[in-house]
Amino acid sequence: MTDTVAGGSFDIVILGGGSGGYACALRASQLGLSVALIEKDKLGGTCLHRGCIPTKALLHAAEVADSARESEAFGVQATLNGIDIAGVLKYKDGVVGRLYKGLQGLVKSRAITMVEGEGRLVAPNTVEVAGQHFIGRSVVLATGSYARSLPGLEISGRVLTSDQALELHEVPSSVIVLGGGVIGVEFASVWRSFGSEVTIVEALPRLVPAEDEALSKALERAFRKRGISFSTGVRFAGVTQDASGVTVSLEDGTTLTADYLLVAVGRGPRTDGLGYAEQGIAMDRGFVLTDERLRTNVPGVWAVGDIVPGLQLAHRGFQQGIFVAEELAGLAPRVIDESGIPRVTYCEPEVASVGLTEAQAQERHGVENISSYEYNLGGNGKSQILGTQGFIKLVRIVNGPVVGVHMVGARVGELIGEGQLIVNWEADPEDVAALVHAHPTQNEAMGEAHLALAGKPLHAHA
């Protein structure tokens, strides 16, 4: 990244170099638009440096540890001698570093003006960085998110967010995880595989509460089997800490002790102090409000990624960035269907889904118009080989298309690609049942599930 350059005028000025911002910059440049991309930290944003990539590297290290620990079940004599956390962090940082270097080279190869520094919107068409003004015919806000805490809950010492947890230079003997959503269950999974005692506290009635209830129940069963403790439907009351650990109190009177408390209560929009409200941009609890074409209420100002209400996912921001670039180039791209965006939680077992949950489908289309089917992975040869349990759940409109695909099991995140095509292309079960799925693959289970939902099950009961 270069030092701040003298300001100037551009077709597009993008504030934020995360997934949404850099995707917008690359696509806009590809379409012949002049672009200034402003980033105060590192190109790639949260996903590359503090989110998706480093956490998944830790999760893969955790999978390797589990493989060694369970090797005897496969006739392989291996032993797990321990976790070299310095080596794990070196591996994680190496993955991030290589991707970061590649992204820097990609942006540098395009006609994109990179600006290093903290930007602030000082007019609807102007971002100021260190006294320099970058003026755009259009301005795209893409400032991302931060790890939230609860009111009055200070992040310090042994009270961590995911940012600090990624750099923790020890394997804790015990951890309390506040929050049973994606971030919480992923870190719980890593630490348990590394040998920690883990307890999750979730205020809502179930883990991964945004997912279909069947997935939540399956994950809870799997976590119990792994020895991960959790309390759901109970709220956090307070925490004290000393040099040796933390003591967490819950509203039901329960007290928990551990080495660390991980606060994993979601991510907030990074919009404070950036001039958005001062320029008249409509906001809601810090989020930037847009229409379906990602336009704010201020002409010429657009927003993408985690600051826009909805799923806070890197691939959502990435696609939104491409959408805005194409919109500004006059290509009139198709509006992004939020319900068609795939979601994956990379704990063990993985949870993956796309489309409507059964409850959402029933609410939208009526209970009598929805049917569902669960295909157990026990009938899938590759899942037996991998030693994983779980299922694929399909939700369909009666005599109509599949509107939801929900999965739990090892590596099911790799199956969500076909799932999102099925949902987004509004395929009927009969359409998918007619396709040939390779054997033996876990992907074959997708075909079997659709065969069953189409009324012609082979390896399962209708």
Helices (H) and strands (E) in the chain, counts: 13, 24
2: left (phi over 0), alpha (psi -120 to 50) or beta: beta
Closest by Cα among 45, 124, 107, 121 to 318: 45
Positive or negative CA dihedral for 23, 28, 31, 32? negative
Q: Judging by beta carbons within 10 Å of its beta carbon (0-12, 13-18, 19+), is residue 146 exposed, middle or buried?
A: middle
Q: Structure tokens of 49? A: 């440096």
Nearest 5°: the CA angle 442, 446, 449 is 125
Q: Which residues are catalytic?
A: 439
Report H helices in 329-367: 358-365
Which residues have CB under 8 Å from 13's CB, separation 6+?
35, 36, 38, 125, 126, 127, 134, 135, 136, 138, 139, 140
